[in-house]
Copies of this chain bind each other. A is one copy, B any other.
């Protein structure tokens, strides 16, 4: 037995406020520099450097150096999934010094979850795909149906390039705010990218908020209703 120590090490990494702040900042999917993360966490640069080294050693962060900058990002969407899971727990168990700030409704409405869309609109997207049988359960994992493939192609996404990636195409991710599933995986990422490309929405700088334009949201909802 004794699986305890293994998960304890990881959990302890997340268990420091400064590191937790860094990780949640990286939930935006962007790669950030050590200085940015230090500011985000509210600690000095030496402290941040130490924390980042530990997170990288623990396998939660990957580093990429570009010139004199070092960019950090989460090593995978599974890290993001665990973090969102913890947020869900925090919401339920009432660690709620949450006290809904002004940005909170926007976060609930549409936000980025590592690299895909979450929040009400993310859940709505998932629901729509499931309702119209564009997505189905096959062999225990989510799969696009032939109809789903057409839908994706019509939306302007070429499946071939992303299907060869190692990561699973479709994956569900439990939503922190809505407690429902939304679409993750390579397809989830591609859909969000396309939404940006169509200028239906853009990222609110420095936050996880995805801000849809009125017209963009209308078109998005139309896409789901079809």
Contacts and interface: CB of A to CB of B under 8 A. Distances in A.
A226 to B, nearest CB: 17
Contacts of A123: 140
A97 B101 CA distance: 42
A116 interface: no
Identical subunits present: 2
A80 to B, nearest CB: 11
Interface of A: 1-25, 40-41, 58-60, 75-76, 78-79, 81-83, 85-90, 92-98, 101, 103, 123, 126-127, 130-131, 135-142, 172, 174, 180-182, 207-208
* A-B complex: 6 closest residue pairs judged by Cβ atoms: A59-B93, A12-B15, A4-B21, A8-B20, A11-B14, A15-B15
B59 A94 contact: yes
A142 B89 CA distance: 21
Given A24-B4, A78-B92, A131 B136 contact: no
Contact of A180 (B9, B15, B130, B141): B141
Contact of A20 (B7, B97, B101): B7
Nearest to A180: B140
A73 to B, nearest CB: 14
User: In this complex, which of A96, A130, A136 has the most chain B Cβ atoms within 10 angstroms of its Cβ?
Assistant: A130
